[in-house]
Structure 1
Amino acid sequence: MDSIEIVLAMMLAVVASAYLVRVLPVSIPLPLVQIGLGAAIAGYTGHGVRMDPELFFLLFLPPLLFLDGWRIPKSGLFRDKGIILELAFGLVVFTVVGAGFLIHWLIPAMPLAVAFALAAIVSPTDPVAVGSIAARAPIPKRLMHILEGESLLNDASGLVCFRFAIAAAMTGSFSLTQASLTFLWLALGGIAAGVGVTLLITWVQRWLFRHFGEPAGSPILVNLLIPFGAYLAAEHLQASGILAAVAAGVTMSYVELSGQVMATTRIQRSAVWDTVQFALNGVMFVLLGEQLPDIMEGARVSLDQSGHLNPWWLVLYAFSITGGLLALRFVWVWTALRITLYRKTRRGEAAARPPLRLLLATSLAGARGAITLAGVMTVPLTLPTGAPFPARDLTIFLASTVILLSLAAAALGLPRLLAGMDFPEEPAEQQEEDLARREAASAAIAAVERAQMEQLQVGADSDMYPEAAARVIALYQHRLDSTAATDGEDAARFRKLDQAERVLRLAALQAERRMIFQLARHEHISDEISRKLVREIDLVEARHKH
């Protein structure tokens, strides 16, 4: 099968996976379905896709990490920054050391530096897999924000540790001082590159739009290119391109607060990014499935490298390493929680101890994914002396099996651990939403009154504008009444009333749209008029849905 046909088959597999997870009688996470479809494509074509890791990193990771950094709630990111940093950096180092010695103890034929490299590449978690599983399991919002923040940062720390371990395996030496300085430059240089590229591109784009206008589609295309620019700039400076993409996304979220982008551009851009995210995430896991034939072939070679002839030893290694990673994560999370509770108790603060099931869920939620696969494929083929890199096939096989086992463990364990648990809404989030609605409604009423006076002063119809203003103000006054209620029952009633009104408005908009399509089908109105009216309805519906 030609390369173009394989790419098209992969895209069709991504589309098919979205429907399969809905029709399958058992609940299976989307990534596992996509891996299965990728394996089916590889079985049909007779071989897997030859994946260039450097190209994989460039094409897939920057836009996905950029989008994660852009959309992650910043309030939660900074509120739980201590926990996130502990998981993203402390847990990674703890995992590299603990799992590295465990792997070397299990497989003495694997050199210690290679064992550390394997431990480092399986340390980063995958937010895509966890997000897919979270759609079927009631993971609390705050925990999900912590897991997302961890995965944004531990990619960089895990890959840096992997790079140092590979360098030690290649040269036979390791300098802690040199490694620390290199890590510092990778982190600071990557963050600076991401922030600088985003701000520069945004400033140039605004200057061009202000002086020459805004070409259709140009803002969206520029937005899609920003993560690649940040990634390449950081790599050129020999800094972390992954952290640059994340920093670019976080910076973009603050740039958006200026509100200078048109509403239609935001709606179109959101749709484009949703499509890009769905496609790239899906293709990554389909690619993982297509690597399975090569991985199984590598398993045969791995038997000799492990020093055993019985293939069940490979199964034992895979389960032991996956179990060790879960145990190390649980120990770290439990210890960090005990320290946090102790500090709160010393300060006289109330410290509620979370249930054990939630701690186990946090440990299981650390599923591995595309970063691990792409990273392990960069293991060199040979040493500087020309000799084969020790246990390379075994390293790739074990990393691949850890991905599959961690995904399966999260898919099977999380829904069962969290079933029946009741997680209350974050009160601070509801208060912030009420404040935003109240202040926005007050500003809207004031703006309507000003606009009404301005229109009357320029001689506009004196009968129409007061009536129209009263209708618009009534809508915002209802919102003020809804969010101004101080009694808990009254506030809840107003929110339910607002939700009911939103449902009725959406039903009315859908009926409008159906009628417009019907009129266009019967040629009572032109296609141009129908597109214009449907576009207006879509914009109003998008506003009410969000």
Structure 2
Amino acid sequence: MESIAVVLILLLTVVVSGWVSRALPVPIPRPLVQIALGGLVGLAADLRVDLNPEVFFLLFLPPLLFLDGWRIPKEEMLRDAGTILELALGLVVFTVLGVGLFIHWLVPAMPLPVAFALAAVLSPTDPIAVTSIAARVPIPKRLMHILEGESLLNDASGLVCLRFAVAAMMTGAFSLYDAALSFLWVALGGIGVGLLVTLAVTRAKTWIARRIGEEAGTQIVVSLLIPFGSYLLAEHLHCSGILAAVAAGVTMSFAEARGPAAASTRMQRATVWDTIQFVANGIIFVLLGEQLPGILGRAAETVELTGHHEPIWLVGYVVAINLALAALRFAWVWVSLRFFLFRANLRGVVVQRPSGRLLIATSLAGVRGAITLAGILTLPLALSDGEPFPARDLAILLAMGVIILSLVTASIGLPLLLRGLEMPPEPGHADEEDRARVAAAEAAIRAVERAEHGLAEGRADAYLYVEAAGRVMDYYRARIDRRTGDGAADGLARRSEAAERAMLLAALRAERATIQDLVRRRRIGTETAARLMREVDLLELRYDG
């Protein structure tokens, strides 16, 4: 009963955090509100949740990473693949080495492998926190896509570095050759597992649905099980469960274009996943706040490891580490930009140089969050000989301090840096959307013509189907003439005859098939396709009730 009560309290706290963050006159990111409320719950209710790192990883990370991989715009990610890989791989290694050495210099009592382990869990970023921070001062779309893509990949690289740092501390040995081979297996194996599991599951459920029908509840549960299955199988094979969940999400978006679910299933599934995302992210930050009172209560003992006696020194360490993280990130981004401009000049391509404010904003956007919290809690309690793991409490306290300070810094700095900033023009999707609407409308007209011949043939009331087909085709022809549409069947008569409904449903299914075909052939982007598919789904639900 106590465990159930704890879960209910955490859920209630997440709900209250949403109310509080919207009611505050000053825009404060929801993660900060959730941390504060979690701290209050920990103090008022004397609530103590023993976080098992393996359970924590399994419950929260697979679904969140799966959803990120599923929903991230693939075209934007591929367009900026070079930049994303530089940040997700190169910057992580650069951060682990630079910040690890800096932490060891700053706190000599922390062994170098532990300092590298702390730097490894601080290297992954949390785009969800950045999105919350930028709610009232939106981050440029392209920058946000880069940050999202970076976070999907740097989680795995940071945690792999953490694994090797802990192994070096436990065994006292480190092999760069073995580490490189292990990294390849962990990364490629994780991606392969996520890809294969998702393809196998989606094809199996499509095969079953075609033969015995589709049930929305079953389809939703299957989508929930895919990230957990991918994660567990990858971990069993000693691969990256994190990358498996991400790869499963990316694969899911492509598999959905080939094995379409019913409109009702897609609508219900989107709502379920939105709820899971809200709850899981909220609980993570509430748990972070709930853990703070206990950790701060040991601050006086922990600070003695550093050779000082006043806990205020820990605040200084947290500030210094945050500055080091931002400085290294800024240096990496600046050098990468210079290299990019140099290559563009060699090719004779004129590229608009980003402003300095945007570079600083990119550095501040490296907010730490759930992966950092989960990763630092995986530090072992003891070494192989039974001795306590050195500086474990200090590493946890510093990691949590960095999470909170990075959130506060970004919530103050990003709005100031981005307000009034003129960005280079980003390519619009209006023309792409118009072309997709016209292609879908043309396919719908052809489908209505086929349906008219098939349904009206040999019937006494065939004229009803002919009239219904005429009305539906007139609507689609008007949409083609306008070269756009608003997704609402304003031009259709509000009549519920079976004939008209049959014609309209045939047209909508043809629209959906055309949109999916355009996505597969990369004629339109996933964002445009998602918007058009939602319009078609809403209309189908309206007339197929």
Same topology, TM > 0.5: yes
Residue in 1 aligned with 2:449?
449
Residue in 1 aligned with 2:140?
140
Are 1:3 and 2:15 an aligned pair?
A: no
- Structure 1 residue 298: deviation in Å? 3.2
Deviates more, 1:450-459 or 1:123-132: 450-459
TM-score, reference length from structure 1: 0.87
Query: For residues 538 and 452 of structure 1, what CA distance do their matches in structure 2 show?
Result: 22
Are 1:277 and 2:277 an aligned pair?
A: yes
Deviations 1:109-144, CA, capped at 9 Å, x for gaps: 111111111111100001221121232222111111
Residue in 2 aligned with 1:238?
238
Q: Structure 1 regions of 5+ residues with no counterpart?
A: 484-494, 509-535
Distance 1:41 1:129, change over 3 A: same
Query: For residues 109 and 26 of structure 1, what CA distance do their matches in structure 2 show?
Result: 41
Mapping for residues 454-493 of structure 1, pairs under 5 Å: 454-459=454-459, 461-483=461-483
- Structure 1 residue 450: deviation in Å? 2.4
- Structure 1 residue 542: deviation in Å? 8.4
Deviates more, 1:80-89 or 1:132-141: 132-141
Residue in 2 aligned with 1:413?
413
Residue in 2 aligned with 1:93?
93
Residue in 2 aligned with 1:179?
179
Deviates more, 1:212-221 or 1:367-376: 212-221
Residue in 2 aligned with 1:59?
59
Deviates more, 1:461-470 or 1:255-264: 461-470
Distance 1:458 1:141, change over 3 A: farther
Residue in 2 aligned with 1:341?
341
Residue in 1 aligned with 2:437?
437
Residue in 2 aligned with 1:257?
257
What amino acid is the match of 1:477? R
Residue in 2 aligned with 1:489?
none
What amino acid is the match of 1:95? T
Is the 1:298–1:394 Cα contact (8 Å) retained in structure 2? no
Residue in 2 aligned with 1:355?
355
Deviations 1:289-343, CA, capped at 9 Å, x for gaps: 1111122023222211111112221111000001110111111111111111111
- Structure 1 residue 213: deviation in Å? 3.4
- Structure 1 residue 48: deviation in Å? 2.8
Deviates more, 1:51-60 or 1:200-209: 200-209
Query: For residues 120 and 10 of structure 1, what CA distance do their matches in structure 2 show?
Result: 29
Is the 1:47–1:293 Cα contact (8 Å) retained in structure 2? no
Query: For residues 30 and 541 of structure 1, what CA distance do their matches in structure 2 show?
Result: 36
- Structure 1 residue 13: deviation in Å? 1.0
Residue in 2 aligned with 1:532?
none
Residue in 2 aligned with 1:161?
161
What amino acid is the match of 1:208? I
Is the 2:125–2:368 Cα contact (8 Å) retained in structure 1? yes
Query: For residues 461 and 21 of structure 1, what CA distance do their matches in structure 2 show?
Result: 59
Residue in 1 aligned with 2:426?
426
Deviations 1:433-461, CA, capped at 9 Å, x for gaps: 22211211111122222222333333363
Is the 2:203–2:259 Cα contact (8 Å) retained in structure 1? no
Query: For residues 326 and 543 of structure 1, what CA distance do their matches in structure 2 show?
Result: 51
Are 1:82 and 2:90 an aligned pair?
A: no
Query: For residues 144 and 160 of structure 1, what CA distance do their matches in structure 2 show?
Result: 25
Query: For residues 71 and 377 of structure 2, what CA distance do their matches in structure 1 show?
Result: 29
Residue in 2 aligned with 1:386?
386
What amino acid is the match of 1:405? L
- Structure 1 residue 503: deviation in Å? 12
Residue in 2 aligned with 1:202?
202
Distance 1:542 1:121, change over 3 A: farther
Query: For residues 541 and 98 of structure 1, what CA distance do their matches in structure 2 show?
Result: 56
The root-mean-square deviation of aligned C-alpha atoms, in Å, is 2.3
Query: For residues 315 and 39 of structure 1, what CA distance do their matches in structure 2 show?
Result: 18
Q: Secondary structure at the match of 2:429?
A: helix
- Structure 1 residue 537: deviation in Å? 13
Residue in 1 aligned with 2:538?
539
Query: For residues 84 and 29 of structure 2, what CA distance do their matches in structure 1 show?
Result: 25
Residue in 1 aligned with 2:327?
327
What amino acid is the match of 2:210? R
What amino acid is the match of 2:146? I
Q: Aligned residues, how many?
A: 501
Deviations 1:50-103, CA, capped at 9 Å, x for gaps: 111100000100011011100100101111110000000000000001101111
Residue in 2 aligned with 1:520?
none
Deviations 1:266-296, CA, capped at 9 Å, x for gaps: 1111111111111111111111111111220
Are 1:305 and 2:333 an aligned pair?
A: no
Is the 2:103–2:321 Cα contact (8 Å) retained in structure 1? yes
Residue in 2 aligned with 1:521?
none
Residue in 2 aligned with 1:223?
223
Q: Structure 2 regions of 5+ residues with no counterpart?
A: 495-534
Q: Secondary structure at the match of 2:389?
A: coil
TM-score, reference length from structure 2: 0.88
What amino acid is the match of 1:48? R
Residue in 2 aligned with 1:38?
38
Is the 1:358–1:417 Cα contact (8 Å) retained in structure 2? yes
Deviates more, 1:38-47 or 1:445-454: 445-454
Query: For residues 431 and 91 of structure 1, what CA distance do their matches in structure 2 show?
Result: 36
What amino acid is the match of 2:26? V
Residue in 1 aligned with 2:104?
104
Is the 1:298–1:397 Cα contact (8 Å) retained in structure 2? no
Query: For residues 126 and 61 of structure 1, what CA distance do their matches in structure 2 show?
Result: 12
Query: For residues 123 and 216 of structure 1, what CA distance do their matches in structure 2 show?
Result: 39
Residue in 2 aligned with 1:287?
287
Distance 1:449 1:210, change over 3 A: closer
Q: How high is the sequence identity, in percent, across the aligned residues?
A: 60
Residue in 2 aligned with 1:533?
none
Distance 1:291 1:543, change over 3 A: farther
What amino acid is the match of 1:442? E
Is the 1:197–1:226 Cα contact (8 Å) retained in structure 2? yes
Residue in 2 aligned with 1:531?
none
Query: For residues 95 and 454 of structure 1, what CA distance do their matches in structure 2 show?
Result: 65
Distance 1:458 1:503, change over 3 A: closer
Query: For residues 412 and 387 of structure 1, what CA distance do their matches in structure 2 show?
Result: 42
- Structure 1 residue 259: deviation in Å? 4.2
